[in-house]
Structure 1
């Protein structure tokens, strides 16, 4: 990697970069129906994009779920860039931003195969396994601490 940088998608182009990563990972890679991959929350959520130089390689979004609670969604890293710190960098940037918004807790629905990744970042599993988009998931939560 030349230069990993996680940015908030403040322009239409950066949002399109985030959507391109999500499309490759979820729609093409995992067979998620495009009709459910993109939803009304895309209009109001804060989107994050990880770049290697100018190449978008990861994406995530954050939205308010409840008072003081943010929900992390659509975390995706291109297959060729997995296990190289991109996901961690995305989550650290997202968590820092979530704190500036006043969130005290983050929750997410992790694909079961990714739950260990989130556990290593301090997320704890809540409840049993369930299905979303035909894929097994678990709910995970993390209290945010002012760094």
Structure 2
């Protein structure tokens, strides 16, 4: 049995683990420039971290755009954690955290290949596919039940 835990991260104790996950997924796997990933927004965002059997394997951040909209960004799961629904669990936890702050809407820039996961969670695609950091993305939005 695989034990998956997703929770709000402790910035000071766990940011190095978050950095390592994002570096592995975005920079090493996808070839993203580190300056695009670590864009100065982490300190003002809420960070989530996921563990599988006690090992950190996934992360995402929530950035509050205004009092009505939050953006979930930097969703990343290490290869060792894939196939256990961890990405979905991170997204569900992020939406739970956002809803607890009475923010009614969530927006994401989903990598095109993973938009099906977000559709399963109730996100609606809007607009055209666009490139961000050389990767095809689509804007998706979801209204949260208040």
What CA distance in whole angstroms lies between the structure 2 residues aligned with 1:15 and 1:8?
11
1:122 and 2:122 aligned: yes
SS at match of 1:31: coil
What CA distance in whole angstroms lies between the structure 2 residues aligned with 1:2 and 1:130?
36
Of the structure 1 ranges 100-109 and 81-90, higher mean CA displacement relative to structure 2 is found in: 81-90
What CA distance in whole angstroms lies between the structure 2 residues aligned with 1:83 and 1:142?
24
| Structure 1, unpaired ranges of 5+ | none
SS at match of 1:66: coil
What CA distance in whole angstroms lies between the structure 1 residues aligned with 2:80 and 2:5?
17
Q: TM-score under structure 2 normalisation? A: 0.95
1:47 and 2:47 aligned: yes
CA shift, 1:83, in A, is: 2.6
| Structure 2, unpaired ranges of 5+ | none
What CA distance in whole angstroms lies between the structure 2 residues aligned with 1:43 and 1:97?
17
Instruction: Show the counterpart of 2:35.
Output: 35
What CA distance in whole angstroms lies between the structure 1 residues aligned with 2:92 and 2:48?
11
Q: Which runs of 4+ in 1 moved over 4 A?
A: none
Q: TM-score under structure 1 normalisation? A: 0.94
Of the structure 1 ranges 21-30 and 73-82, higher mean CA displacement relative to structure 2 is found in: 73-82
CA shift, 1:24, in A, is: 0.6
Aligned-residue CA RMSD in angstroms?
Answer: 1.2
CA shift, 1:61, in A, is: 0.3
Instruction: Show the counterpart of 1:81.
Output: 81
Instruction: Show the counterpart of 2:65.
Output: 65
